[in-house]
């Protein structure tokens, strides 16, 4: 205990103050770190919120006395990790976040009593738009969405009806694929009565049309390219499954080029078969007629002009002429067999396929570990080619071409088939279960702590507590000189130094040019200096803080003489640290 008190007294008030300040600063620093580490882990509650939703959620959190953090201009809210799930369910029960749009809950807050049909229709339209916007925002690639519907009213006494239309503005995360935009079109069209997908227009936040009905499909060259790439990749995977099972994994490279026809063709044809005639209808008309007239040569009498006079009498006066006729007409209608054919050739017809297969050879490992490459035989290449032709549906009349070549592959080459899968490695699996931001924060705190200990605290404490760098204080100074007074060599030491100077011996001089120590003492001088060592004589070097033992100076001189290069390097290092 006395030694500790004596050590503290020897440091002096200035060093004690500096040492205390450093200690307090380190305690405060580590306290902040401990508080930061022990604080609850914040987890994401909601992101990409509208201003109104963010304000309502914050009001709910304040009412529940739950700590939170705001980021991204208030659009992102963080809460303690153990409270995140419960808060999401609580906010969902309260209808938050609403996304800045109103849904069918609008009918829960209004009364139907006294509401006009116009207001009811407008509320129904607003609710439908809001619900569709919420559904679209639920997609992973969609950050925000607005939906506008136009529902024309059918006018009275009109047969024609205008079709409804829809416009959608989407803010996506990393871009929205055309296939996804097509899905959104069908989603909205299925939810609105009478709406067809071609009447749904979709644009992104920059005003670029992603899908716009017939016009969007006609200009959708990107979707056609994607369709072609998907077909080529599918064939490539099919060929790779067969080839790699023969030559081994990562020992084959396959490329497929498909030439496709994206023209949509509709053909109508009508064929008649004269041999296949059948009776369709038959019409028969039969006519018969008879006529009897009196002979014009007969005389005219009263009896002849009476009714039924003809045939009642005879003789010359009753002579007559009789005529009869019959006609039969038959009409037969025949129907010839007819075939009507409508043929539709959809876009995406395969015009030609070209497949290139590069396979590696065989390797034989010798006893010493060296590998010898051997090319594959032509028979093996032919068999592989037959397998490839069967896998792709080879059609020679179409002009398809398959090439199988055997070459030695580069050992550092990367298989494009597995390049996408290799990206999902150990780091992705680890980061999926850990919080990257939390790890980065703890790592930064650890680095700052290590730097503070080794670059600030350690050098400062060493400087304050090392006796060799202490200022001359009231501690026992040889000869009892007052504090801060440079100490001169003792009379015996002074005589030895003067004699050494007279003999031309090398000595160590102070800034004022006076000798203060011997550089290379002789054995006799060492014996004389031993008496000085026994009393632990201390000397003060002018302009140098602290006290240095004379024996230490002598030892340092010997080290410098025996190891000049190393000593020079050490001195340069000290000068660099001082600078």
Of the candidate ranges 78-82, 242-246, 532-536, the one whose mean pLDDT is the lowest: 532-536
- On the question of pLDDT at 522 being above 70, the answer is yes
Instruction: Report the alpha-carbon distance of residue 166 to residue 198 in Å, rounded.
Output: 10
pLDDT value for 404: 92
Same domain, 123 and 149: yes
210-231: pLDDT as tens digits: 877 554 444 455 567 778 888 8
Long-range contact set of residues 521-526: C-beta below 8 Å, sequence gap at least 24: 521/554, 525/496, 525/500
Residue keyed to tokens 């550089």: 519
127-139: pLDDT as tens digits: 888 888 888 888 8
Q: Which residues, in sequence order, are bridge partners of residue 254?
A: 357
Same domain, 122 and 209: yes
User: What are the percentages of helix, strand and coil residues in the chain, rounded to 5?
Assistant: 45, 25, 30
- On the question of pLDDT at 308 being above 90, the answer is no
Backbone phi, psi, residue 555, to 5°: -65, -40
Instruction: Report the alpha-carbon distance of residue 56 to residue 64 in Å, rounded.
Output: 13
Categorize the per-residue pLDDT at 537 as very low, low, confident or very high, splitting at 50, 70 and 90: very low
pLDDT value for 408: 86
CB–CB of 333/281 below 8 Å? yes
Instruction: Report the alpha-carbon distance of residue 102 to residue 129 in Å, rounded.
Output: 8
Same domain, 78 and 131: no
Which SS3 state, helix, strand or coil, does residue 340 take?
A: strand
How would you classify the pairing of strands 371-374 and 200-204? unpaired
DSSP per-residue codes, 147-214: EEEE-PPPPTT----PPPEEEEEEEESS---HHHHHHHHHHHHHHSTT--GGGEEEEETTS-EEEEHH
CB–CB of 184/195 below 8 Å? no
Between 338 and 99, the higher pLDDT residue: 338
Categorize the per-residue pLDDT at 472 as very low, low, confident or very high, splitting at 50, 70 and 90: very low
- On the question of pLDDT at 533 being above 70, the answer is no
Between 527 and 476, the higher pLDDT residue: 527
Residue keyed to tokens 């032919």: 382
- On the question of pLDDT at 425 being above 60, the answer is no
Evaluate the CA torsion angle 198, 201, 203, 209 in order and state its sign.
positive
Between 113 and 408, the higher pLDDT residue: 408
Share of the chain above pLDDT 70, in %: 67
Helices 2-38 and 458-465 pack at an angle, to 10 degrees, of 170
pLDDT value for 3: 61
Tokens of 21: 């300040």
Instruction: Report the alpha-carbon distance of residue 185 to residue 202 in Å, rounded.
Output: 8
Q: Look over the chain and give the mean of its residue pLDDT values, rounded to a whole number.
A: 74
58-109: pLDDT as tens digits: 888 888 888 877 777 777 888 887 777 787 788 777 777 766 667 666 666 6
Share of the chain above pLDDT 90, in %: 6
490-500: pLDDT as tens digits: 556 777 777 77
Q: Residues with Cβ < 8 Å from 430, sequence gap 6 or more?
A: none
pLDDT value for 383: 92
Between 529 and 233, the higher pLDDT residue: 233
Look at the chain and report how many structural domains it folds into. 5
On whether residue 7 sits in a domain, the answer given is: yes
**Extended beta strands in 346-414, E state:** 349-359, 362-365, 371-374, 401-406
Same domain, 27 and 132: no
- Exposure class string for 91-119: b at 16+ Cβ within 10 A, else e: beeeebbbbebbbeeeeeeeeeeeeeeee
DSSP at 64: H
pLDDT, average across residues 301-320:
58
pLDDT value for 489: 54
On whether residue 103 sits in a domain, the answer given is: no
- On the question of pLDDT at 251 being above 80, the answer is yes
Of the candidate ranges 26-35, 112-121, 289-298, the one whose mean pLDDT is the lowest: 289-298
On whether residue 511 sits in a domain, the answer given is: no
Tokens of 119: 């207001």
On whether residue 515 sits in a domain, the answer given is: no
**Which among 319, 292, 291 has a CA at the least distance from the CA of 304?**
319
* Residue 526: its H or E element: helix 523-534
Residue keyed to tokens 């070459």: 407
Last residue of a domain, one of 379, 406, 433: 406
Last residue of a domain, one of 362, 380, 406: 406
DSSP at 290: E
CA atoms within 13 A on the CB side of 196: 6
- On the question of pLDDT at 459 being above 90, the answer is no
CB–CB of 290/245 below 8 Å? no
How would you classify the pairing of strands 515-518 and 507-509? antiparallel
Backbone phi, psi, residue 458, to 5°: -65, -50
pLDDT, average across residues 324-351:
85
DSSP per-residue codes, 551-567: HHHHHHHHHHHH-HHHH
- On the question of pLDDT at 169 being above 50, the answer is yes
Most confident of 178-192, 311-325, 561-575: 178-192
On whether residue 28 sits in a domain, the answer given is: yes
CB–CB of 52/13 below 8 Å? no
Q: Report CA-CA distances (Å) from 1 to 6, 7, 177, 568.
A: 9, 10, 78, 41
CB–CB of 492/528 below 8 Å? yes
Whichever domain contains 242, its CATH number is: 3.30.300.30
Greatest pairwise CA separation for the chain in angstroms: 211
Same domain, 134 and 235: no
Tokens of 147: 């939906």
Instruction: Report the alpha-carbon distance of residue 131 to residue 106 in Å, rounded.
Output: 11
Same domain, 545 and 573: yes
Q: What range defines the domain where residue 382 resides?
A: 230-263+347-406
Tokens of 370: 């060296």
pLDDT, average across residues 408-412:
75
Rg of the chain taking only CA atoms, in angstroms: 55
Most confident of 49-63, 144-158, 252-266, 425-439: 252-266
Same domain, 255 and 352: yes
Categorize the per-residue pLDDT at 544 as very low, low, confident or very high, splitting at 50, 70 and 90: very low
On whether residue 392 sits in a domain, the answer given is: yes
CB–CB of 57/96 below 8 Å? yes
Last residue of a domain, one of 406, 440, 456: 406
On whether residue 412 sits in a domain, the answer given is: no
Instruction: Report the alpha-carbon distance of residue 559 to residue 21 in Å, rounded.
Output: 38
Categorize the per-residue pLDDT at 480 as very low, low, confident or very high, splitting at 50, 70 and 90: very low
Same domain, 248 and 397: yes
Which SS3 state, helix, strand or coil, does residue 333 take?
A: strand
Instruction: Report the alpha-carbon distance of residue 502 to residue 257 in Å, rounded.
Output: 100
Long-range contact set of residues 367-376: C-beta below 8 Å, sequence gap at least 24: 373/408, 375/406, 376/406
Whichever domain contains 86, its CATH number is: 3.30.70.1530
pLDDT value for 474: 36
Same domain, 131 and 239: no
pLDDT, average across residues 252-279:
86
pLDDT value for 354: 93
**Which among 35, 9, 19 has a CA at the least distance from the CA of 463?**
19
Same domain, 18 and 64: no
Same domain, 125 and 205: yes
- Exposure class string for 421-451: b at 16+ Cβ within 10 A, else e: eeeeeeeeeeeeeeeeeeeeeeeeeeeeeee
- On the question of pLDDT at 403 being above 90, the answer is yes
Tokens of 60: 């709910």
CB–CB of 133/146 below 8 Å? yes
pLDDT value for 435: 56
Same domain, 252 and 378: yes
On whether residue 200 sits in a domain, the answer given is: yes
Between 19 and 282, the higher pLDDT residue: 282
Of the candidate ranges 40-44, 239-243, 308-312, the one whose mean pLDDT is the lowest: 308-312
């Amino acid at each position: 205990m006395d030694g500790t008190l004596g050590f503290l007294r020897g440091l002096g008030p200035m060093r004690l103050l500096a040492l205390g300040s450093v200690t307090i600063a380190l305690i405060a620093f580590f306290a902040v770190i401990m508080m930061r580490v022990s604080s609850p882990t914040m987890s994401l509650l909601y992101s990409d919120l509208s201003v109104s939703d963010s304000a309502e959620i914050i009001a709910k959190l304040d009412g529940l006395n739950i700590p939170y953090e705001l980021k991204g201009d208030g659009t992102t809210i963080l809460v303690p990790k153990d409270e995140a799930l419960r808060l999401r369910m609580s906010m969902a029960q309260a209808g938050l976040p609403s996304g800045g749009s109103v849904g069918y809950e609008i009918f829960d807050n209004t009364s139907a009593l006294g509401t006009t049909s116009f207001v009811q229709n407008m509320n129904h339209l607003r609710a439908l738009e809001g619900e569709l916007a919420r559904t679209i925002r639920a997609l992973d690639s969609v950050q925000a969405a607005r939906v506008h519907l136009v529902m024309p009213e059918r006018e009275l006494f009109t047969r024609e009806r205008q079709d409804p239309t829809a416009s959608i503005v989407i803010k996506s995360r990393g871009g929205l694929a055309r296939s996804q935009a097509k899905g959104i079109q069908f989603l909205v069209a299925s939810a609105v009565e009478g709406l067809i997908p071609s009447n749904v227009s979709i644009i992104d936040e920059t005003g670029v049309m992603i899908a716009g009905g017939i016009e969007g499909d006609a200009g959708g060259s990107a979707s056609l390219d994607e369709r072609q790439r998907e077909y080529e990749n599918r064939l490539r995977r099919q060929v790779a499954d067969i080839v790699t099972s023969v030559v081994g994994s990562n020992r084959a490279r396959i490329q497929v080029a498909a030439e496709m026809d994206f023209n949509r063709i509709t053909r109508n044809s009508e064929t008649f078969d004269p041999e296949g005639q059948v009776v369709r209808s038959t019409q028969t008309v039969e006519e018969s007629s008879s006529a009897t007239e009196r002979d014009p040569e007969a005389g005219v009498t009263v009896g002849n002009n009476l009714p039924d006079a003809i045939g009642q009498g005879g003789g010359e006066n009753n002579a007559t002429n009789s005529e009869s006729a019959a006609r039969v007409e038959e009409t037969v209608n025949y129907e010839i067999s007819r075939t009507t054919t409508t043929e539709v050739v959809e876009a995406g017809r395969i015009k030609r396929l070209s497949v290139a297969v590069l396979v590696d050879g065989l390797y034989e490992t010798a006893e010493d570990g060296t590998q010898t490459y051997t090319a594959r035989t032509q028979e093996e290449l032919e068999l592989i080619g037959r397998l490839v032709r069967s896998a792709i549906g080879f059609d020679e009349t179409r002009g398809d071409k398959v090439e199988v070549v055997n070459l030695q592959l580069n050992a550092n080459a990367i298989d494009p088939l597995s390049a996408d899968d290799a990206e999902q490695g150990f780091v992705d699996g680890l980061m999926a279960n850990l919080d990257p931001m939390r790890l980065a924060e703890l790592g930064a705190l650890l680095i700052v702590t290590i730097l503070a200990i080794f670059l600030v605290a350690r050098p400062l404490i060493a400087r304050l507590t090392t006796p060799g760098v202490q200022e001359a204080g009231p501690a026992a100074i040889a000869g009892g000189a007052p504090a801060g007074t440079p100490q001169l060599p003792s009379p015996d030491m002074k005589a030895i130094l003067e004699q050494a100077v007279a003999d031309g011996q090398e000595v160590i001089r102070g800034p004022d040019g006076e000798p203060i120590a011997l550089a290379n003492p002789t054995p006799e001088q060492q014996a004389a200096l031993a008496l000085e060592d026994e009393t632990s004589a201390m000397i003060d070097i002018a302009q140098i803080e602290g006290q240095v033992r004379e024996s230490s100076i002598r030892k340092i001189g010997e080290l410098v003489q025996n190891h000049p290069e190393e000593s020079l390097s050490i001195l340069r290092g000290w000068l660099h640290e001082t600078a």
